[in-house]
Amino acid sequence: MGPPLESSFKLRELMAAHYLCGRYAEGAVPVAWVTSGAPVELLRPYGFHVYYPENHAAICAARHMTKDLCLAVEETGLSRDVCSYARSDIGGVIADRTPVGGLPRPDLLVACTNICQTVMYWYKDLERRFNVPLFVLDTPFIYGEGRAHDEDYLVRQFEELLALCERVSGRRVSEQEMAHGIETGRACSMAWRDVLELCRNRPAPMTAFDAFVHLAPVVSLRGEPGCLEYYHMLRDELADRVAKGIGGIENERHRLLWDNLPIWFMMRPLGRLFASEGFNFVVSTYTNAWAETAGLFDPKDPLRSGAAVYSKIILNRDLKHKRELILRLARDYECDGVVMHSDRSCKPYSVGQYDLADLFTREHGLRTMVLEADHGDPRSYSAEQGELRVRAFMETFE
């Protein structure tokens, strides 16, 4: 493994402060619980403290709490086939357990279907538990380039969402305030993109496993000034590494692309395993998802441009788009191979991976492997078999 990033200390501080604020948010500011694909830029100007159950679930997974939280909800009858983020979140609500000290009760729930349909049922469950308004933002799946009337449909939903935000927060937001919110959010996403793009260098100054951790602010704090400052700091540190030729791992021999969410509870052992043979994950479709459509936001026309930003992300588009995206990233980042995490919990992300893997191997000369696991539930991963597959995959490069 390479030397630790100095910025990590600041990251811990930033995220700890976020969750600490959350503990005191209830009653002080309106609180919204939102999905990772929700248009937070539209909510921030209303003064919401925004809490991301998915980010929290990732923290629970990295701290090996997921199994117990899942059991709390499985005991009530929810199937193990449901996403482990949903299970650990609802389980945490039932058991009143969190590693971050305490979570604020929501005043508003916003679920956007651009990442999956599960979020709709998950948030309906939360709606019943908390008895607060739920807004489901329905983003029609895009085949090909999308349709104009889908964009109109999204704009209308945004208008309804803004009216609801106004009612829940008791606040009106001017056009200038909204434009400022959009601009700050956009700047955060662009800064994140700049951070990721530094990994095009050889050696890449950080691994995708690092990026999974440093992703937290652009997910949870997008549009907050602290987020932007943080990514400027990280960008500078990485640029310095590039100038000095310091890599995210020692002796980068092969460059890989990671597809799908991380296996949060196996990040360290997997990172070490790949690094031990000089394999560096220099890019991932997952971290790229928060940079992918960033440039499309237009502060002058937040709703129409927002429709593109929130519908044109990887999980809301067809397999052809995913194929082209992976090929472009693999080319831009000079990857020799692709590791596809077939995530038992994230079916929309995992569908088509075997076909893509075949295609990449046969037609594009990329070595590929599919690793079957789960982003949160350790019961869906066999460490011994996983390591065997990874080692065998690495041996094919010799």
Partner 1 sequence: MSVAAIGLDAGSTTFKGVAVDKTGAILARQLEPTKTDLSRQAMDVLGRLRADAGAGDGVPVAATGYGRKMVGGAGRVITEITAHGKGAFHLAGRGLTLVDVGGQDTKVIRIGDSGRVEDFAMNDKCAAGTGRFLEVILGRLEVGYDQVMGLVQKAEGRVSISSTCTVFAESEIISLLSQGVPVEEIVYGVHRAFAERVGALVRRLGSPAEIHLSGGGAKNGALVRLLGEQLGAQATVLPEAQFVGALGAAISVS
**Contact residues for partner 1 (CB under 8 A)?**
354, 361, 372, 380-382, 384-385, 388-389, 391-392, 395-396
Q: Please, which residues have CB within 8 angstroms of residue 73's CB and are 6 or more apart in sequence?
A: 87, 90, 91, 94
Q: Which amino acid is at 346?
A: C
Cis peptide before 203 (omega within 30 of 0): yes
Whose tokens are 């899942």? That residue is: 70
Task: Answer whether 55's CB lies under 8 Å from 36's CB.
Answer: yes
Given the complex with partner 1, which of 253 and 391 has the nearer CB atom? 391
Sign of CA dihedral 212, 124, 306, 165: negative
What are the distances in angstroms from CA 213 to CA 2, 238, 368? 15, 15, 24
Alpha-carbon separation of residue 8 from 13, 336, 346 (angstroms): 9, 28, 28
Contacting residues for 86 by C-beta, under 8 A, at least 6 apart: 118, 119, 121, 122
Q: What is the side-by-side strand order in the sheet with 337-343?
A: 279-284, 254-259, 337-343, 367-373
CB closer to partner 1, 180 vs 389: 389
Single-letter amino acid code for the residue at 174: S
Coil, helix or strand for 257? strand
